[in-house]
Structure 1
Amino acid sequence: MAHDHHHTHGHNHIHHASGASHSHHAKPKDYGLAFVIAIALNSAFVITEFTYGLLANSTALMADAGHNLSDVLGLLLAWGAALLAKRAPRGRYTYGLRTSSILAALANAVLLLVASGGIAWEAVRRISEPPEVAGLTVTLVAAAGIVINGLSAWLFVKGSKGDLNIRGAYLHMAADAAASAGVVLAGIAMMFTGWYWLDPAISMLIVLVIMIGSWGLLRASIQLALSAAPAHIDMPVIAEFLRQQDGVTGIHDLHIWGMSTTESALTVHLVMPQGHPGDAFMDELADALKTKFAIAHSTLQIEQGTTQHACPLIPFQVS
C-alpha cells in the first residue's frame, strides 16, 4: 500500500507543478514591450547625453550617461531572465530556468554599485578643481533625461511590487529619473551663480541615491540566491497552518525557497498516524498553500510517525 500511496501522490504533485507553471508564466510576458521601449529610449539617450556631456565639460552629465549605460545593460539582463524563466523544464533543468531571474536581480544590484563607484571616483577627482561647465546644455539634456527615465520607470512600476527582477529594472529607471532631476537643478544653479563645483557635488549625490536604492535589491537577491524563504513568506504561520490540518499530528523538514523572483516552492513532511488521507486532501492543501501563501509548487510527504525521520539539515522549528 505504501508504494501505491507514493505513486498517487507523485501523480498529484506533477499535476500541481504543471498547473502552477501556466498561471505564473503569464507575468513576465506582459513586460516584453516595456523592455523593448525602455531599452530603445535609454540607448538613444546614453549616446546623446555622453556626447553633450563631453561638449559641455560636465562630469554630472557624463556620470548620468554612464549610469544610463548600466541601466541598458541591466534592462537587457532583466529581459533575458524574464524570457528564460518562461522556458519549460527539460533535461537536467527540472525547474526550467526560473532561477535566472534571481541571478539577473543579483547582477543588476552589483552593476548599479559598480557604476556608482565609477561616478564617485570621477566626481572626487574633479571637486577640488572644477572645470567650467555649460549650464544651459546640462539643464536641457538632463531635463530630457527626466522624461525618458520617468516614462521607463512607469512601464515597470506595476510589476516592481511582486517581482524582484522587474523591481531591479524599475529601480534603475527611478534612480536615473532622480539623478537627472539633480543634474537639472545643478545646471540652473551654475547658470546663475557660476558655482561649477556643484556639478561634481551633484554627481556624489546621485551616487548616494543609487546606492541606497541598490542595497535593498542586493540584499533581497542574495537571500533568494542562497535559497532563503522569500520576504513575503511567514514561516511560523505556514508551519502552524500545516499543523492544524485534519489528521496531522506534527510536521518536520519544512523547507521554503524562491524558485524565481515570482514563484516559491515548499517541501514538508506531515505526520499523519491514520495514513495517506487521499488525493482530494492533497489537492485541497496544495491549492490552499497556493492561494493563501502564494506557494506555487508544493511537495507533501506523508508519514505515520512509526519511525524517526531525521533531516540532515537543521529542521525548522516553530517556537
Structure 2
Amino acid sequence: MSHDHAAPKNLTPAFQWAVGLNTVYVILEAIAGFMTGSLALIADAAHNLTDVAGLLIAWAAMGLAKRTPSDQFTYGLGRSTELAALANAIVILIGVGAVVWEAMGRFQTAVEVPGGTILAVALVGIGINFGTAMLFRSSQHGDLNAKGAYLHMMADGAVSVAVVLAAGGILLTGWTWLDPAVAILVSLVIAVTAYGLMKSSLRLTLDGVPENIDKNAISDWLANLPGVQSMHHLHIWALSTTKTALTVHLVMPEPAEPNFLTETSHELEHEFNIDHATIQIEHPDGQCESK
C-alpha cells in the first residue's frame, strides 16, 4: 500500500520575511520605548521579541519535521513542531506576566511620555504586524505552527492599534495613565491568544485527537465498511502539526477484497485528512481482546 503524501506548503519565505521585518521593528520600537519612557512601546517590543524567538523556533522545527525517519526516530522528527508551538505559547505567557507586573507599578508612579513619538512608531507596527500575519493566513488552518504565527502577528497588530489609541488619548487629554492601562489590556488579550495555542499544542503533545479530526465520524465510517463486522483499538494522534496517524483493528468474517486496504487508506486521507493509516484485519475466531 502506498504511503506517499503531499508535502506541506513551503513556509520558509514567510518565516524569512516575518523574522526579518519583526527584528527590525523590535529594534526600532525598543529604542523609541526607552528614549520616551513609554511602557506600552516597551511592552510591545518585548512581546515582539518573544514572537521573533517563537518564529525562529517554529522555523527550525519545520526544518526538523522534513527529516526522513531514522532507526532511532522511526516516525521522523515531526513532533518537534508540536513542541515548538507549546514552547512559543509558554514564553509569551511569561512575557505577559512581566509586562503586567511593570504596568501595575506605573499606576503608582506616573511617567510622562511623548504621545507623538508613540503614535508614529505604533503606526509603523500596524503595517508590519498585519502585513506579516497575511504571510501565514492561507496556511493557518492546516498547520498549528502557521496558526501560531498568524495569531501572534494579528495580536501584535491589535497591540499596535491599541497603542495608537493610547497615544492619541495622551495627546488629547494628557492622561499618562493610558500608557500602562493599554499595556495591561493588550497583555491580557495576548494571554488569551497564547492560552489557546498552548491548549492546542499540549493536546497534540499528549497524543490527543487533533481538533480538526472527528473521531466519531471516522469510527462510524470504518464500522460500516463492506465486510466489517466490528472494530476496536481505534487510535488517532498527531505525527506533527500537519500530519495525523491512525491505527485500528477491523474484524472481518470473510477475507477482504484485494484492494481493500489501499482503498480504505486512500479514503481516510481524502475524507478525513489521515496521512498515515495502519489497519489490522482480524477473523472473529482469532481477534485480540478488545479494550
Structure 1 residues 215-234: aligned runs within 5 Å: 215-234=195-214
Counterparts of 1:26 and 1:236 in 2: how far apart (Å)?
26
Counterparts of 1:157 and 1:26 in 2: how far apart (Å)?
14
Q: Out of 165, 168, 173, which is 2:153 matched to? A: 173
CA contact (8 A) 1:39 1:75 kept: yes
Counterparts of 1:170 and 1:77 in 2: how far apart (Å)?
15
Match of 2:78 in 1: 98
Are 1:146 and 2:126 matched, yes or no? yes
Are 1:192 and 2:184 matched, yes or no? no
Match of 1:309 in 2: 288
SS in 1 for 2:249: strand
Counterparts of 2:146 and 2:56 in 1: how far apart (Å)?
11
Are 1:283 and 2:265 matched, yes or no? no
Question: Structure 1 segments of 4 or more deviating over 2 A?
Answer: none
Percent of aligned pairs with the same residue? 46
Q: CA deviation at 1:67?
A: 0.3
| Code of the aligned partner of 1:70 | T
CA contact (8 A) 1:56 1:133 kept: yes
Aligned length: 291
CA contact (8 A) 2:116 2:171 kept: yes
1:187-210 deviation line (CA, Å, top 9, x unaligned): 111112110000000000111110
Q: CA deviation at 1:279?
A: 3.9
Counterparts of 1:302 and 1:220 in 2: how far apart (Å)?
33
Are 1:125 and 2:105 matched, yes or no? yes
1:129-188 deviation line (CA, Å, top 9, x unaligned): 221001111110111111111111111111111111111111111111100111111111
Match of 2:50 in 1: 70
CA contact (8 A) 2:8 2:242 kept: no
SS in 2 for 1:254: strand
Match of 1:207 in 2: 187
| Code of the aligned partner of 2:264 | L
Are 1:259 and 2:239 matched, yes or no? yes
Are 1:247 and 2:254 matched, yes or no? no
RMSD: 1.1
Q: TM-score, normalised by structure 1?
A: 0.89
Counterparts of 1:171 and 1:112 in 2: how far apart (Å)?
12
Q: TM-score, normalised by structure 2?
A: 0.97
Give unmatched runs, 5+ long, in structure 2. none
| Code of the aligned partner of 1:246 | P
| Code of the aligned partner of 1:255 | H
SS in 2 for 1:179: helix
Match of 1:7 in 2: none
Are 1:160 and 2:143 matched, yes or no? no
Q: Out of 45, 59, 62, which is 2:39 matched to? A: 59
Q: Out of 100, 104, 114, which is 1:134 matched to? A: 114
Are 1:295 and 2:248 matched, yes or no? no
Match of 1:3 in 2: none
Q: CA deviation at 1:26?
A: 3.5
